[in-house]
Copies of this chain bind each other. A is one copy, B any other.
Amino acid sequence: MTEQRKRMYLNAFDMNCASHQSPGLWAHPDDQKSTSYKTADYWIELAKTLERGFFDGIFLADVLGTYDVYKGSRDTAIEHGVQAPVNDPSYLVPLMASATKHLGFGLTVSTTHENPYIFARRMSTLDHLTNGRIGWNIVTSYLESASRNIGLKQVKHDERYEIAEEYLEVVYKLWEGSWEDDAVQNDKENRRFADPSKVHDINHYGKHYEVPGAHLCEPSPQRTPVLFQAGASKRGKQFASKHAELVFISVPEDYLAKRYVDELNEELNLAGRDRSEVKVLSLLTPIIGKTKEEADAKREAYRKFVSHEGSLALIGGWTGIDFSGYEKEDKVEYIENEAMRSSIASFTNQNADEWTVGEFSEFVSIGGRGKVIVGTAEEVADQMQDWMETTGVDGFNIAYSVSPGTFEEFVDDVVPILQERGLVRTSYEEGTYRNNLFGYDQLPEHHVGRTYRQLSAEIKQ
């Protein structure tokens, strides 16, 4: 090859529960996750597999509630194991980190549900223990059932973003502005562990949070974790263009990915950030066979396990709309409820009138809202390459149909082809997650979070 190919970033998408993005497929004979998700071994093996495949990171989804919109009950979600039960993802990080050297970890934590002062310490601790391999997927939470059990009123979408903005301000101050680089001296001779004059109270007195004190932790390798965001709304895109370093999109068609990338580019321009500071990763579920026929047959076999009701439970949680009362065979165009039909349209990102409700639920059942590629390893690699070139995304967020299965097949069969083509790297950078992604350890100078580094200078004046 003479031309320098754009590097393809690879990320894995998983969740600390029996069934993540493919409702019903937990029951497939190959899938073991419905019992193994609770064990350390599942995660350690997965982490090793991903590092063997030169993945940049693994992104752990999370919800703090149960999907209870469908039929007004959480019974369907529980019966089909649809992201319920769901364990805390953060404890998987030290486990997976101890089994790997380079893999990054993106943790989903809601600004609505966790106190910023306590949360900032959690992330700094993980960044220390992993030698700088932690990332944070910033969410504002969509499940009313979560807020209810935490004693909060569910707040409206836009207000959640307003609260999130202040939340970010608090944690930036703690991570970037509270401890100077040379605050900790470890000077045994003079019996001086740290210089208190280089540790600063953040004095945050805002509308939603009051945090007067200093951060509890000394600076970690990355200070601020790598920031993820997956907001698809206008407001979400603005938020991403201001804060995010990794952006995740879930669209089934390339023109939709391209549209997103173009819009994000505009927002980034407005925010004064360079496109190179943000990587956009597109959701992808590969179904791989030795031949195209084998891959197609595999997909058909998976389809037999799709849970129609489980999918509608998932959609109910995502959209807030209860799709019960319709048969699988009912056509979407005959759904009378206007909100429901427009939700389907925005959800599928296309005119789905010709679909049946069953097709709509199946659309979600394998690979969530993202692209599904069915074929040989060569064909999967071809289509990934095409998708990147057509859309301008930087890589993929890979979801599984069955686990173990999808990730192992992808690593063993597709990654070597992508490496041959010069798309996926053949060795890791040393150092932090951010360094692996961008070539620097901490937020770049003009990132809004980095500006809080000035806090200490201001206080000194």
Q: Could you tell me which A residues sit within 8 Å of B by CB distance? A: 16, 18-19, 24, 26-27, 29, 34-35, 38-40, 44, 64-66, 73-76, 78-81, 84-88, 90-95, 97-99, 113-115, 117-118, 121-122, 124-126, 128-130, 145, 148-151, 179, 184, 186, 188, 191-196, 199, 209-218, 220, 305, 307
Interface centre among A129, A184, A211, A218 (most CB of B within 10 A): A129
Interface centre among A27, A85, A86, A218 (most CB of B within 10 A): A85
Report A413 CB to chain B, min CB distance, Å.
26
Residues of chain B with a CB closer than 8 A to A121's CB: 64, 86-88
**With contacts A40-B129, A44-B98 known, what are 15 further pairs, Cβ within 8 A?**
A18-B193, A39-B129, A40-B130, A64-B216, A74-B213, A80-B193, A85-B216, A86-B217, A87-B121, A91-B122, A91-B126, A92-B129, A94-B95, A98-B99, A191-B307
Report A148 CB to chain B, min CB distance, Å.
6
Is B216 touching A86 in the complex (CB atoms < 8 A)?
A: yes
Is A125 touching B84 in the complex (CB atoms < 8 A)?
A: no
Report A65 CB to chain B, min CB distance, Å.
8
Q: How far is the CA of A228 from the CA of B97 in the complex (A)?
A: 29
Is B91 touching A214 in the complex (CB atoms < 8 A)?
A: no
Is A98 touching B97 in the complex (CB atoms < 8 A)?
A: no
From B79, B80, B90, B124, give the contact of A87 (CB < 8 A).
Answer: B124
Report A154 CB to chain B, min CB distance, Å.
13
Is A129 touching B95 in the complex (CB atoms < 8 A)?
A: yes
Is A193 touching B78 in the complex (CB atoms < 8 A)?
A: yes
Copies per complex of this chain: 2
Report A365 CB to chain B, min CB distance, Å.
13
Residues of chain B with a CB closer than 8 A to A86's CB: 121, 216-217
Give 17 A-B contacts (CB < 8 Å), ordered by A residue: A26-B188, A26-B193, A27-B191, A34-B193, A35-B186, A39-B129, A40-B129, A78-B193, A79-B193, A85-B179, A85-B184, A87-B121, A88-B125, A91-B125, A95-B98, A115-B150, A151-B209
Report A153 CB to chain B, min CB distance, Å.
11
From B78, B93, B114, give the contact of A118 (CB < 8 A).
Answer: B114
Interface centre among A73, A122, A151, A179 (most CB of B within 10 A): A151
Is B122 touching A88 in the complex (CB atoms < 8 A)?
A: yes
From B87, B97, B130, B218, give the contact of A125 (CB < 8 A).
Answer: B87
Residues of chain B with a CB closer than 8 A to A93's CB: 91, 94
Residues of chain B with a CB closer than 8 A to A213's CB: 65-66, 74, 145, 148-149
With A115-B151, A216-B86 as contacts: A39 and B79 at CB distance below 8 Å: no
Q: How far is the CA of A90 from the CA of B92 in the complex (A)?
A: 12
